Amino acid sequence: MRAIIHAGMHKTGTSSIQDTLAKIDHPDYAYLKWRSPNLSGLFAQQFYEPVEEYHSFKLSGQTREELLRERKANFLRMSEQLSQVTKPNLIFSAEDITAPNDTFGMATQKLADYLSNWATEFKVYAYVRTPSSFMMSAFQQRVKGSKLKNIKVDTLWPRYRDRLERLDKIFGQENVELVKFHRSEFKGGDVVTDFAGRLGISLTPDQIEQSNEGLSLEALALLFAQRNLGSGRPSGFKGSHKLNDQFIEKLSSIGSGKSSFSPEFLEPIFEANKDDLDWIENRLGAKLSDIPAPAPNQISCDEDLIAIAEANSNELDHALVELLSESELGRSMTAVEKAEKISALLKAKAGR
């Protein structure tokens, strides 16, 4: 059996690829089944140590004892499933394989060693996003998924070499294919179609799932204001992920602006990471520098987002209508107060 490892990177259409490939029935490709098509959680549960420090498990308040019990049970299920695969190829898709620290690197080595019990060869694919677009997508994801309270400049750079060089070392560079994440590079102009095509899988348009769309500038600003000035993301209890998703859903229909960091924000970051950019451009064989031209409403600092949030305070009213009485809705509130009210009411409805 050949193991196909789809390793991300983060924010390169991975959710759409996973949701599409997990549901199709192909005679030559099996997709490892778990409770989610995104196998990052399974990857972490089985191979990340200490498992209780994995970000998603921490936010859910899961204990090491609980996680180790789940690890044991899921290890048996996963091994049984792999033993029953009769198709020549197995797909394992988890973008956390390219998370940029040594702990994930060790987990990736454990994954490779484990799959080697069944796989006689490996093929690894990773899509590589340009720095500016990656940084904005990563920032949005952190605002949505964590307790982020400010724009942490030093944490946004993609750290290409830390993410990708270990794939060459673990699986062999000849088995690792890096692809520039840009519509002009994709077969059919779509990343799902492109990835499937690289495997030899033909998809019809109705089979393709489009998942995990980004937030508008206005919605991002409102969410950031709540994280920055309000109580932040719900966490520390089971069900906190669902509550957070519901809160974000209430904001996601607001606005249509495109989020972008300013050249003034980006230029010193690019300069500080020139060696890393040179490395990935040499490895990929393509240019990735993408600092945008100056434009209105670009983001340079926390205060830019707070100002955009307050300018769009009234847009939160539609999200409050179904949760508040008319008299409460009429009370004068700032954007952050409205967002906090939505978050609190959703939590109350869930019995938390």
Strands 121-128 and 89-93: unpaired
For the four alpha carbons of 171, 79, 99 and 193, in that order, the dihedral sign comes to positive
Residues 110, 47 contacting (CB under 8 angstroms) = yes
pLDDT tens by residue, 39-83: 999 999 999 999 999 988 987 888 999 999 999 999 999 999 999
Same domain, 37 and 107: yes
Stretch (H or E) spanning 2: strand 2-6
| Pair 193, 328 in one domain | no
Transcribe 97-154 into DSSP letters.
GG-SSHHHHHHHHHHHHHHTTT-SEEEEEEEE--HHHHHHHHHHHHHHHS---S--GG
Same domain, 19 and 166: yes
Residue at 251 is within a domain: yes
311: in domain: yes
d(CA 98, CA 159): 10
Residues 233 and 179 in one domain: no
What's the pTM?
0.85
Q: Which of 82, 98, 78 is nearest to 35 (CA)?
A: 78
What is the domain extent for residue 226? Answer: 217-259+295-349
Residues 28 and 148 in one domain: yes
pLDDT by position in tens, the chain (length 352): 999 999 999 889 999 999 999 999 999 999 999 999 999 999 999 999 999 999 889 878 889 999 999 999 999 999 999 999 999 999 999 999 999 999 999 999 999 999 999 999 999 999 999 999 999 998 998 888 776 667 877 789 999 999 999 999 999 999 999 999 998 889 888 999 999 999 999 999 889 988 766 799 999 999 998 888 887 777 777 777 788 888 888 888 888 999 999 999 999 999 999 999 999 999 999 999 889 999 999 999 999 999 999 998 888 877 776 665 544 555 567 888 888 888 887 777 666 5
